[in-house]
Structure 1
Amino acid sequence: MSDTNNPGDKTQARPPSKPLSLKRPIEQGTVRQSFSHGRTKQVVVETVKRRVIGAAPAAPARETTPVAPATRVAPPPPPAAPRQAQRSASGVVLRTLSEQESNARAAALADAKRREAEAKQRAEAEAAAERERLAAEQREREAAEAKKREEEARRRQEEEARLAAAEEARRAAEEAAKEASKEAAKPAPAPTVSRTAPMPAAPTIVRTPPTPPRAPAAPAAQAAPRPAPAPAARPPLTARPASSEPRKTITADVRKPRDLNFMARPAPAPEPEPTAPTAATAARPAGAATTARTPGRPQAAEEENEQKRVIRRPGMPLKIITPPKTPKQPGGDRNRGRLTIATATSGEDERTRSVASFRRRQQRMSGHRQVEQKEKLSREVTIPETITIQELANRMSERAVDVIRLLMKQGQIHKITDVIDSDSAQLIAEELGHTVRRVAESDVEEGLVSDEPDLEEDLDPRPPVVTIMGHVDHGKTSLLDAIRKTTVVSGEAGGITQHIGAYQVAAPSGDMVTFIDTPGHAAFTSMRARGAKVTDIVVLVVAADDGVMPQTVEAISHAKAAGVPLILAINKIDKPEANPQRVRTELLQHDIQVESMGGETLEFEVSAKTGDGLSDLLEGLQLQAEIMNLRANEQRDGEGTVIEAKLDRGRGPVATVLVQRGTLFTGDIVVAGAEWGRVRALIDDKGENVPYAGPSVPVEVLGFNGTPDAGDRVVVVPNEARAREVTEYRARQKRERIAARTGGANRSLVDMMRDLKEGAGRKELALVVKGDVQGSVEAITGALEKLGNDEVSARILLSGVGGITESDITLAEASKAVVIGFNVRAHKEARESAERNGVEIRYYNIIYDLVDDIKSTLSGMLPPTLREERLGEAQIIQIFDVSKVGKIAGCRVTDGVVQRGAHVRLIRDSVVIHEGKLAQLKRLKDDAKEVISGYECGMSFENFQDMRAGDTIECYRVEEIRRTL
């Protein structure tokens, strides 16, 4: 039976286990997208977690050297004796360390221990200071919180007191209103006619015999909404007994309430008139309603009863006469006139204040007489060098019209879209009560490169970076090929190195060494300087049969400027004419003393052809690196330098980067000069893809959106927005520098006229340079700019990396320029366009051939030098007038010879009268080619007839001599 499931088995097979890999963990999810017309689509979204160095085990190292975990601290190197015994047991024979080397190694170990102790003490002191700072911040926070709680408690007490005062005032107003209502509801005495207010006529009082009580009405529970026991029947109402006191006259003063607080709140609404009889009204006698008022009844019902007249006659039924009602005026109470105290107290119905008026009074009583203004917020406004008015107003949270108003006060008329400078913006912001923080465009680069030193516990040993420098054809690349077992020199045109390369080599001890190969030609000065900046050790290669040359001296200057140690490698000792002692002696003139002559510079005699001395050279490099104690932090973002850059038609922009700090991973967003990109791939010196590159590791980086310049700093940034911000600023600065150097479009007419005046007669050779790598283009540009003088010069319109495109041909056609291709070729479209438009394209693969060709072209543009060669002199004896010919001078040759067509100069009284050419020369009547001294002849001049007897004629010849740069 096989391991697979049966075809009919419905059980689900166990999923296969995932293979182990070093890829980042990826989380997947699904998102449903909605489109128009009801269409949807389900998309799988992957989230790649950023890898954190130190959270996972360290990446596997190469087989040649084991790499310790990233989190451990590198132990101090063992003493020299055990290491020597271990190497001897492995089968590698090494020389015994000298006493000086042992002392140097012991001193290095002691220095390392001392630095570790100092770093530990420093870390403890920093930790103690940090704890003290945190404690002080905690105390300040507690004090601030206590003060805040006290402030809140005080505010809460004030609010409670205010609310209590408001509640007390409201209660007092309610009590006053209740007292006023009770006073108004008390039964008034018999109405009398007063002078102040007319009262209605008193109703007729008729006494009626008591009648038997009616049947009880329905229970109150059925008539009233709330259940209550039925009240007892009231006794019949009788007439008010006569009082012996005199009746009071009711006036406005008498009816005036004691306090006006009843106007503070609306009076209680009158009770609605019942539609059904209640138990109290059913038990009341019928005639009781006409006899007297009952305290507590509504005033409207009493007035209605007073207006009714009851007539009873014997033998006739009871008759009630109701007077006709007065029609109500249209408009209601709106035409009642101005409200006064008299009208408010003497009116038939009681007037009360409105709810809004009462609310305003309550606000005045509670202290809110004025509305509190909103507190103005003071903001920190960031102001760049230039800013628009709209943006400034938005940052201050102010209205743009207010900003324009302040500018108008300063005498400036602007629109909302106008741009103002930072000084004006600062004045406006400070006048509106905000604080200002001035920033410049260059602030976008702040914090891009961290200058903070790494902690000692985070540092791990790294391979040394060694730069090979020297004169051309002294065997630098051949020496490196012998170490790497490669043949790089065979691929270089002309047998010379024209590119800078970076490689890693394993030393005999197993440790890695990074080599940087630099060209030796004089044009590659910038390459050598760039290699010296990123190196730890400089190996100066000098040929034993050639000695110290100009580029050797230049390499020594670069090493001294970089402040790195120098190791001398005397190459080509296998040649019969080799003389190493000559090299040592010549280096003394440049302050280089080797060990064999009592100096400190290490020296090794090597041969790239036979391989002699290569192991000693590698051992010396390892010894120098151990003394320097080279270490770096791998746990931070990668930083490095662009060694070389090129444009590959298949892979796009490719930059050779030497990582100096941190670790560079695939997928990081990097910025290099004015270019940025996401790292798509990392390729080592052997052409293999690697997932990451640590310190001192050279790799080719793919993924830039453009070709960066050689020497640019490579920095990892957190996101694309930050990368775009930095590169846009750098690109703008680069354009401004180019425009300032070449004269941009913003030049004024005065500048153009001055340039024409200063460069009158100056000739320029316009060039478009395209190369294979950035370093070669930089070297060619620098070499061509040095050519020329005040009369002729080379002007480079465009320089770049990559093949010659059709746009380059268009630029060359418009500017009458020559296109130069160094190790590149023109595209098919560009080649056809050049042939069609007559644009010249020159191809080169050796840099000194290119420089010599351009130099000879500029030399041909120089005007030749004119030199005079004196031929002879003649004296005018007599002047003859010949018809149709003019004046002819009869002369005698006194010195030298006179030739036809030569230049002549007419001299009278030692003053030059005329310079020109000899038109005719006759001997007797025949034309003569020349007349020698002692003979007579006839002469005529071109465009000149004012000749006199006695004048001297000087004859000379002008020679043109070609000039060279």
Structure 2
Amino acid sequence: MSDTDGKKPLGLGGGPRSGQVKQSFSHGRTKSVVVETKRKRVVVPKPGAGKTTTGSNPALGDPSKRPAGITDAEMERRLKALQAAKAREAQDQAAREADEAQRAEDRANRRAEIDAKEAEEREREMRLRLKAEDEEAQRLKEAEAAEAAKAKVARANAPAKADDVAIPAGRDMSDAPRSAKPALVARKPDREAEARDRAAKPVKAREDNRRGGKLTLNEALTGNAGRHRSMAAMKRKQDRERRKMMGTQEREKVVRDVKLTPTIVVQELANRMAERVADVVKALMQNGIMATQNQAIDADTAELIIEEFGHKVVRVSDADVEHVIALKEDSDADLVSRPPVITVMGHVDHGKTSLLDAIRNAKVVAGEAGGITQHIGAYQVTTDDGALLTFLDTPGHAAFTSMRSRGAQVTDIVILVVAADDAVMPQTIEAINHAKAANVPMIVAINKVDKPAANPTKVRTDLLQHSVVVEAMSGDVLDVEVSAVTGQGLDILLENIALQAELLDLKANPNRAAVGAVIEAQLDVGRGPVATVLVQNGTLRQGDIFVVGEQWGKVRALINDKGDRIAEAGPSVPVEVLGLNGTPEAGDVLNVVETEAQAREIAEYRAHAAKEKRAAAGAATTLEQLMAKAKTDKGVNELPILVKADVQGSAEAIVQAMEKIGNDEVRVRVLHSGVGAITESDIGLAEASGAPVFGFNVRANASARQTANQKGVEIRYYSVIYDLVDDVKAAASGLLSNEVRENFIGYASIKDVFKVSGVGKVAGCLVTEGVARRSAGVRLLRDNVVIHEGTLKTLKRFKDEVKEVQSGQECGMAFENYDDVRAGDVIEIFEREEVERNL
């Protein structure tokens, strides 16, 4: 089809395009089919369409050629984003070029320093060589002068011959006999030739031994230049000559006594012998043992290697590693007075912490969840007369028996707090037994005497039943009536403490390696493992290397009870120690050692021994034990749980409380307990064993929460140990009544903190999950640990008070009666509801 036929070409113009397609069928049949292709209709916008009211920018291009729905404002925003991206790319390129130039300059500077050092070394060697040559020439000159003097003396003593005619001074040679002239002329050149030969021979030898010039490729291929000595050999020879000139000889090998345990790592063996690890590995290979520096070898093989290197073997057992921390007795001359350690003990809610607050003029009880103490607190108080006292505040709940026991073991004086309106209670009796077992003096503080129902006489009478006879009953135990609210009797209590401390005559040696007891331990996200240590003897300093239980470390920082960093802590001083490699157990003893190797070795030995002990305790080794265990476990339903707490003491108390729950039909089994936030590995273990996870004053991190939601693992949070124990008891016994459950409806992150007059501190927050409601309860989390629980005083969006704020929006929050908020903290928003409980 062409233009000459009067028809339009195919595909041109506005009409449909037509053509023929040959269609094939079976058995070779074909058929021509006419097909038409309709063109897509293009809608051209009218002039002025797509323009905004603000006018069109020529830089934005033709609006008709843009995709549908793109306005000038959007196009302008995209152009600005493109220009900003190009600018950032140019800045990055410039920064990279500047960085590369700086690195090139640094390389050039380093190369120049290396060249300068090499030039200085060459110059120094040249000076030494010239000095040696000068000394050699001087020695030859002196030898020649001595030989000439000897020859002169010999000639003077020899008899005169006919041919040897002396020539007087000033006389002409022609007067001598003819036979004397040749002899006199010939003697002088001979001596000069001999001196030249002697001077030239050493120089020639030195020139032969030195490398002459650079080695060219032609000389290396043809071998004409001969074999030259390496630069390393030349330096070794120069070092030998230098030591020889300076009169120093090679050091003799030091024979060491190498302590050998049943198994030892190759690197540690090399360190104890003070030999190179490569030499020890080479010696092992020569004896047919292929071992790397990180592998352990047995004692017999190690003994063979030690003897091969010429050292002496001292066989020791694994337990001998602890001999380095053997305590030595202090002489009386080294002892100085130390502050007393006072432990406050008693029943729950009898006012122990409130009494300590009144003494310290602090507000510690406000920071404890539920108003009860769940950690051991260590504080130092200075009295009005300048005396320094160290107080330990122990919990009174039944679950914290081990905490009270630890407090009694490290204390000098026990203050037994008994409420005047409640008299002697179960934990009061337990505290009395702990004080008697520790054999420490006791002072009875009868608290709450300001209440109308107070009856101090009944308290004194009840104490008689437990062999505690106070002074009012003609006994020897001091008793004081006090009130933490009004401050009554506090001065008398402090006087009695000072009197009792004076009678005890407490002393310690501050000038020795520190020994202390771990009061509490926790895993802090920002600071790592932290141990609260009460130093009992010696002085603990920053930088000391220590071992505590199965852990070891180096003191990175010491923090006192006021939160300040200190350089050292003496006897009876409680401090937080940072720098451990793991979280120790509460109650472990801290000992300072000399080297990191000793600390690591002791910690590894203790960990291995504890692991074997746990394995032996959990394994039924005989057939009778297996049958008894099977009979005991038959028909017993177990409730498996996982426990994570904020501090080691709380985790230990919860585990001990769980072990007491149950009977012959049901019992609680703690699969795992630990310190710190709930992690993904905890959720994996809980899912594998079908157990819930209990968090005590800790929270799950974001990945753990997501994993728990996906796998259906229940996470329960608690702040008071009563609630946790009661819930587990109810679940184990099947008494599942309605419970108050917390539904977390949102999380907010604090970006900044502002001070607003009339309101206090207001946290500028971003709601990251869910929704924030004014009526809901809130908790303040710092490093996934609960800091405060309460309600909101205000919830603002911009300047308006609002009822709720959705996720992704910013808002301002202020807590009711709480101001300690920091940037980076997380606010947890929750609502409580009653639901039916089921397993």
Say whether 1:770 aligns with 2:641.
no
Q: Cα gap change, 1:509/1:763 in structure 2, threshold over 3 Å: closer, same or farther?
A: same
Q: Structure 1 residues 544, 515: closer, same or farther in 2, change over 3 A?
A: same
Query: Aligned equivalents of 1:389 and 1:676: distance in 2?
Result: 22
Change (3 A) 1:677 1:403: closer
Matching residue of 2:508: 632
Cα distance in 2, alignment partners of residues 769 and 436 from structure 1: 48
Question: Deviation digits for residues 327-372 of structure 1, max 9, x if unmatched?
Answer: xxxxxxxxxxxxxxxxxxxxxxxxxxxxxxxxxxxxxxxxxxxxxx
Q: Do 1:803 and 1:824's aligned partners in 2 also have CA atoms closer than 8 Å?
A: yes
1:786-865, aligned counterparts within 5 Å?
786-860=660-734
| Structure 1 residue 223 displacement after superposition | 13
| Mapped partners of 2:468, 2:517: distance in 1 | 29
Amino acid at match of 2:568: Y
Query: Could you give the per-residue CA deviations for residues 396-436 of structure 1, whole angstroms, max 9, x where no partner exists?
Result: x99999999x9xxxxxxx97879997799999999xx9987
Mapped to 2, the partners of 1:662 and 1:653 lie a distance apart of 23
In structure 1, what is the Cα distance between the partners aligned to 2:475 and 2:540? 40
Aligned counterparts of 2:517 and 2:113: Cα–Cα separation in 1: 44
Matches within 5 A, 1:310-325: none
Unpaired runs of at least 5, structure 2: 1-104, 115-178, 191-253, 737-839
Give the Cα separation in 2 of the matches to 1:724 and 1:436.
22
Pair 1:513–1:759, CA change in 2 (3 A): same
1:520 pairs with 386, 392, 396, which one? 396
Equivalent-residue separation in structure 1 for 2:479 and 2:628 (angstroms): 57
| 1:483 corresponds to 2:388 | no
**Equivalent runs, 1:689-768 vs 2, <5 Å:** 689-742=565-618, 759-768=633-642
1:591 counterpart SS class: coil
Amino acid at match of 2:684: T
- CA shift, 1:40, in A, is 5.7
Q: Equivalent residue for 1:535?
A: 411
Query: Does residue 1:664 correspond to 2:540, yes or no?
Result: yes
Counterpart code for 2:562: K
Provide closer, same or farther for how the CA distance between residues 550 and 749 of structure 1 changes in structure 2, counting only shifts above 3 A. Answer: closer
1:385 aligns with: 262
Rounded to whole Å, the distance in 2 between the matches of 1:585 and 1:644 is 35
Question: How do 1:181-580 and structure 2 match up within 5 A?
Answer: 382-386=259-263, 437-448=314-325, 450-580=326-456
Percent identical residues? 60
Give the letter for the 1:773 counterpart. Answer: V
**1:860/1:717 Cα in 2 relative to 1: closer, same or farther (>3 Å)?**
same
Structure 1 pair 628/739, CA: closer, same or farther in 2 (3 Å)? same
Distance 1:513 1:420, change over 3 A: closer
The CA deviation string for residues 877-905 of structure 1, in whole angstroms up to 9 with x for no partner, is xxxxxxxxxxxxxxxxxxxxxxxxxxxxx
Give the distance between the partners of 2:562 and 2:473, measured in 1 at CA.
Answer: 40
In structure 2, what is the Cα distance between the partners aligned to 1:39 and 1:487? 60
Of 470, 474, 477, which residue of structure 2 is paired with 1:594?
A: 470
Q: How does 1:158-173 map to 2 (within 5 A)?
A: none
**Aligned with residue 479 of structure 2, among 592, 597, 603:** 603
3-state SS, counterpart of residue 678 of structure 1: strand
Q: Which amino acid aligns with 1:641?
A: A
Distance 1:378 1:680, change over 3 A: closer
Contact 1:390 1:400 in 2 (8 A): no
Q: Structure 1's 741 and 805: CA in aligned 2 closer, same or farther, altered over 3 A?
A: farther
Q: Matched residue of 2:324: which SS?
A: coil
CA contact (8 A) 1:763 1:861 kept: no
SS in 2 for 1:447: helix
| Distance change (3 Å), C-alpha of 1:508 and 1:223 | closer
Structure 2 CA distance, aligned partners of 1:490 and 1:440? Answer: 52
Structure 2 residue matching 1:812: 3-state secondary structure: helix
Paired residues of 2:558 and 2:567 also in contact (CA < 8 A): yes
Pairwise CA distance, 1:508: 2.9
**Residue type matched to 1:859 in 2?**
S
Q: Check 1:642–1:544 CA distance in 2 against 1; reply closer, same or farther (3 A cut).
A: same
Q: AA paired with 1:599?
A: G
Match of 2:753 in 1: none
Structure 1 CA distance for aligned equivalents of residues 318 and 352 of structure 2? 44
Gap change, CA 1:387 and 1:678, over 3 Å in 2: closer
| Alpha-carbon distance between aligned partners in 1 of 2:600 and 2:306, rounded to the nearest angstrom | 30
Residue in 1 that maps onto 2:563: 687
Of 851-860 and 434-443, deviating more is 434-443
Does structure 2 retain, via aligned residues, the 8 Å contact 1:502–1:515?
yes
Q: Residue 705 and residue 628 in structure 1: after superposition, are their counterparts in 2 closer, same or farther (change >3 A)?
A: same
SS of the equivalent of 1:528 reads: helix
Give the whole-Å Cα distance in 2 for the aligned partners of 1:602 and 1:682: 36
How far does residue 549 in structure 1 lie from its aligned partner after superposition? Answer: 1.4
Residue 691 to residue 425, structure 1, CA distance change in 2 (3 Å): closer
CA RMSD between the two structures: 4.5
- Does structure 2 conserve the Cα–Cα contact (< 8 Å) formed by 1:642 and 1:657? yes
2:565 alignment partner, SS class: coil
- Secondary structure of 1:514's counterpart equals strand
In the alignment, is the contact (CA less than 8 A) between 2:260 and 2:313 conserved in 1?
yes
Q: CA deviation at 1:757?
A: 6.5
Q: 1:401 to 1:752 in 2, by over 3 A?
A: farther
Correspondence for 1:129: none
Partners of 1:666 and 1:681 within 8 A in 2:
yes
Equivalent position SS for 1:446: helix
Structure 2 distance, partners of 1:750, 1:795, is 23
Aligned runs of 1:85-234 on 2, under 5 Å?
none
Tell me, yes or no, if the aligned pair for 2:280 and 2:305 is still in contact at 8 Å: no
Partner residue, 1:199: none
Which stretches in structure 1 are left out of the alignment for 5+ residues?
1-33, 44-215, 228-376, 407-413, 863-965
Q: CA deviation at 1:818?
A: 1.3
TM-score, with normalisation over the residues of structure 1?
0.46
Say whether the 8 Å CA contact 2:283–2:305 is kept in structure 1: no
Whether the 8 Å contact between 1:654 and 1:701 is mirrored in structure 2 is yes
Q: Which has the larger radius of gyration?
A: 1
Task: Measure how far apart 1:453 and its partner are.
Answer: 2.3
The AA in structure 2 aligned to 1:523 is: A
Whether the 8 Å CA contact 2:416–2:431 is kept in 1: the answer is yes
Query: Aligned AA for 2:671?
Result: L
TM-score by length of 2: 0.53
| 1:609 alignment partner, SS class | coil
Query: How many residues are aligned here?
Result: 500
Q: How far 1:706 moved relative to its partner?
A: 2.2
CA offset digits 1:742-793 (Å, max 9, x no partner) = 559xx99999898656534333222211001111011001111222234332
1:645 to 521, 543, 547: 521
User: 1:642: Cα distance to partner?
Assistant: 1.3
Which has more helix, going by share of residues? 2
Distance 1:689 1:415 in 2: 51
Partner of 1:780: 654
Structure 1 residue 612 and structure 2 residue 521: aligned?
A: no
CA 1:854–1:660 in structure 2 vs 1: closer, same or farther (change >3 Å)? same
